[in-house]
Amino acid sequence: MTTPELAFVAEFARGLPEECRQVFTLRKVYGYTGREIAGRLGIPEHIVEAHLVHAARQCAYAASDAADRESGPSFLSRARSRIAHR
């Protein structure tokens, strides 16, 4: 990852709920498996997976929003906006 990408991910992670941030960090920074994270945090593996899905979605939204600020709305954000207004 480049320095700007690392800065983006670090800033993004700070905005996650505590347990979700812990799961995200253990997986993406330290490379723990879902089973290892579950054991370390004392939570079921399916909760670990749910946190990772939530973090991935939030990261995609944050990246899309950042791109919109740089170059105008992306296809994804325009579609998301249309869906929200139905």
Model pLDDT for residues 5-34, shown as the tens digit of each residue = 778 788 888 889 999 999 999 998 899 999
**pLDDT tens, position by position, 31-45:** 999 999 999 999 999
* 54 Cβ neighbours under 8 A, 6+ residues apart: 16, 20
Spell out a b/e string for 13-38, using b for 16 or more CB atoms within 10 Å of the CB, else e: beebeeebbbbbbbbeeeebebeebb
Give percent of the chain above pLDDT 90. Answer: 44
Instruction: Name the pTM for this structure.
Output: 0.71
CA distance 66 to 30: 26
Answer whether 19's CB lies under 8 Å from 43's CB: yes
Ranges of each domain in the chain: 3-84
Asked if 16 and 52 count as a contact pair (C-beta separation under 8 A), the reply is: no
The CATH number for 3-84, chosen from 1.10.1740.10, 1.10.10.10, 1.10.600.10, 1.10.260.40, is: 1.10.10.10
Quick one: tokens of 17? 């709920």
